[in-house]
Structure 1
């Protein structure tokens, strides 16, 4: 039997497709048209699938058109659409997190039949929603779950807190104050920490118009912020590699409303538990999603407004390769969004 090659998948929201690349050489493998608008991807290594959330039919978060309501199930090796999971009347699914041990895919939805945002659990075997948990926040966008599947954390951009959900009791149990809102959120591989890009980004403003930006560290034993790293620019994506390197994508503005080249910062915990900056790399305009290889040696950064994906050597902090995903007008294009890597 022929060995499977590693597959790197990137969605373009404006292009309404998934683009597939060889995970080691970055050669194009082909494209798959999908429904509008693909946003995030979650890899399911055990079953060999990728799940893609479709959030809007048109528009963006600040000015959405008609909201979408489905999850696409993708076979990345055949580059085929395997199934579509309908979530209506839930609206605008976005963030994805997989509990592989329990066979559950968690999805944030901006609104539903009761009006509020929620976390919806989908059974990956039956591909049907099995529970809904209100997170008491408008438009929850990203979510992270602890490795043991006991808790979920949702970030909601405009809400001045992170919602903490007890997944065993299906209950909102805490709100962690974050005064200026949040962008992406992620959990460490050992489950001790949750990292939050704190301060919602004002894309109509410039560098001087942003709220104070930090990378906030939550201790999951007490669900409180125990450390905050001041950032020179607001961060949108955060990601942790398998060996605990914390990656944050910083968004810079050339002038109000016009994004400039972004940065990737990498941090490690010191012996005292604080984060220390280890390297900085140049990336494209508006880094929006970060993922890494299972070995943690390479990082992948999707740049929304450049329409590119940068491959970063996470040891040296150098850019190894730039892939054109769907370039366009940097003021409007949504050319590179979710990323997944599957071996």
Structure 2
């Protein structure tokens, strides 16, 4: 989602296209990338998107850097094998989990070259940051752990055991609560970030892929690929308060900057489901 609330960006895993969906006129523009796009992240100023890429045979591993104004690829960076969901840190650098490399690669946003590597347990899918940018968290799928990383010195502070196959991870805007999806258990786990103690575990839909929090931090939205729906979790009450049908095989989710809309990509449906939130 663009920070100006006007454009949704979608990585199309059925092609080599990244779609720019204009929310004002609902027109769609396409930017071609060298290999199959998998996931993407938007820079804080909205000037760039960073797109992870790889083919089904694990070739074509890379990170495409797209200028959003010109709608052109600035650079195609070769990366480690099977790069997953990128994230942009508060200093602008791009953190990229390398699934088959048991590491996170960090890319400088000025030189567009690799600046550092951090080893984590196998196999990282997702990266997210604390609101102040001091801590990074990774969801490490095959090892059923999350890593807690000091972003300043890039040291892993702790690895925490979670449920089977954590796929994605989110932090509330106040930085106090961490939510993890357990893909093979059909659950989410909620942790206190201060103590890193698990607060509770909840059943959601089948094969929860992605999670994001509401802009006010009251709810978590969980995309369930196996049941084609979205679970709304009341984080204070610790329960699922709503289940909403979406398209076929939902994969990832974005929330608009004003908190009023959710955008869910439907992998097999080749659509984006738009939902209205209860935010005021």
Q: TM-score, normalised by structure 2?
A: 0.90
User: 1-side partners of 2:92 and 2:48: how far apart?
Assistant: 12
What's the CA shift for 1:51?
A: 0.9
2:81 to 76, 91, 107: 91
1:172 to 152, 156, 164: 156
Q: Which runs of 5+ in 1 are unaligned?
A: 60-64, 201-211, 254-261, 317-343
User: 1-side partners of 2:8 and 2:163: how far apart?
Assistant: 36
1:193 to 145, 153, 177: 177
* Correspondence for 1:141: 125
Runs of 4+ in 1 over 6 A off after TM superposition: none
What's the CA shift for 1:167?
A: 2.0
Task: Report whether the alignment pairs 1:235 with 2:208.
Answer: yes
What's the CA shift for 1:295?
A: 0.6
Residues paired across the two proteins, number = 275
What's the CA shift for 1:282?
A: 1.0
- CA radius of gyration, larger in: 1
Q: TM-score, normalised by structure 1?
A: 0.75
8 Å CA contact 2:205–2:231 kept in 1: the answer is no
Given the superposition, is the C-alpha separation of residues 217 and 149 from structure 1 closer, same or farther in structure 2, using an over 3 Å criterion? Answer: same
Task: Report whether the alignment pairs 1:125 with 2:117.
Answer: no
1:77 to 69, 87, 102: 69
* Correspondence for 2:234: 268
User: 2-side partners of 1:93 and 1:232: how far apart?
Assistant: 26
8 Å CA contact 1:5–1:22 kept in 2: the answer is no
8 Å CA contact 2:211–2:220 kept in 1: the answer is yes
What's the CA shift for 1:160?
A: 2.1
Moved more, 307-316 or 293-302: 307-316
* Correspondence for 2:256: 293
User: 2-side partners of 1:99 and 1:217: how far apart?
Assistant: 23
Q: Which runs of 5+ in 2 are unaligned?
A: none
What are the Cα deviations for residues 34-56 of structure 1, in whole angstroms up to 9, with x where unaligned?
Answer: 122101111113251111111x2
User: 2-side partners of 1:72 and 1:241: how far apart?
Assistant: 28
What's the CA shift for 1:292?
A: 1.0
Higher relative contact order (CA 8 A, sep 6+): 1
User: 2-side partners of 1:161 and 1:5: how far apart?
Assistant: 34
Task: Report whether the alignment pairs 1:184 with 2:191.
Answer: no
2:221 to 230, 240, 247: 247
8 Å CA contact 1:14–1:37 kept in 2: the answer is yes
User: 2-side partners of 1:105 and 1:189: how far apart?
Assistant: 20
Task: Report whether the alignment pairs 1:110 with 2:99.
Answer: yes
User: 1-side partners of 2:168 and 2:258: how far apart?
Assistant: 22
User: 1-side partners of 2:5 and 2:70: how far apart?
Assistant: 11
- The CA RMSD over aligned residues, in Å, is 2.0
Given the superposition, is the C-alpha separation of residues 33 and 268 from structure 1 closer, same or farther in structure 2, using an over 3 Å criterion? Answer: same
